[in-house]
Structure 1
Amino acid sequence: MEDMASKISVELIKEVHMAAILSGKEDETDLMNLVRDEATLFFIADRSNIIRDSVKQASFLLFNIANRHPFVDGNKRTAVLVAELVLGADYSINVTAEELNDAVRKISAPDGNLECTERWLRNNINKIG
Structure 2
Amino acid sequence: MKEPRWVPEQAVIAIHDELILEHGGCFGLRDPNLLSSSLARPKHLFAYSDSASLFDLTAAYAFSLAKNHPFVDGNKRIALAVIDVFLRLNGYELVAAEEEAVIKINDLVKGIENQESIATWIAGNSQEL
Give TM-score scaled by structure 1 length. Answer: 0.81
**Greater displacement, 115-124 / 103-112:** 103-112
Asked if 1:96 corresponds to 2:104, the answer is no
Deviation readout 1:71-118 (Å, 9 max, x if unpaired): 111111111111111111511111112111111111122454211111
Q: Percent identity?
A: 23
Mapped pair 1:109 → 2:103: no
Contact 1:54 1:86 in 2 (8 A): no
Aligned length: 122
Name the Cα RMSD after superposition: 1.9
- In the TM superposition, residue 56 of structure 1 has moved relative to its aligned partner by 2.4
The change in CA–CA distance for 1:100 and 1:111 in structure 2 (over 3 A counts) is closer
Q: Which 5+ residue runs of structure 1 have no aligned equivalent?
A: none
Q: Which residue of 1 aligns with 2:50?
A: none
For 1:49 and 1:9, the matched residues in 2 are separated by 12
Aligned to 1:49: 43
Secondary structure at the aligned position of 2:93 is classed as strand
Aligned amino acid, residue 88 of structure 2: G
Distance 1:126 1:104 in 2: 19
Q: Is the 8 A contact 1:9 1:46 kept in 2?
A: no
1:43 positional shift: 1.0
Q: Give ranges in structure 2 of 5+ residues lacking alignment.
A: 48-52
Alpha-carbon distance between aligned partners in 1 of 2:108 and 2:63, rounded to the nearest angstrom: 6
Residues 3 and 45 (structure 1), Cα distance of their counterparts in 2 relative to 1, 3 Å cut: same
**Compared with structure 1, are the counterparts of its residues 7 and 98 closer, same or farther at alpha carbon in structure 2 (3 Å cutoff)?**
closer
The correspondence of residues 15-54 of structure 1 with structure 2, limited to 5 A, is 15-25=14-24, 28=25, 31-32=26-27, 34-50=28-44, 51=46, 53-54=53-54
Query: What is the alpha-carbon distance in structure 2 between the residues aligned to residue 117 and residue 82 of structure 1?
Result: 14
Match of 2:70, SS state, is coil
State the match for 1:9 in structure 2: 8
Moved over 4 A (4+): none
What's the TM-score once normalised by structure 2's chain length? Answer: 0.81
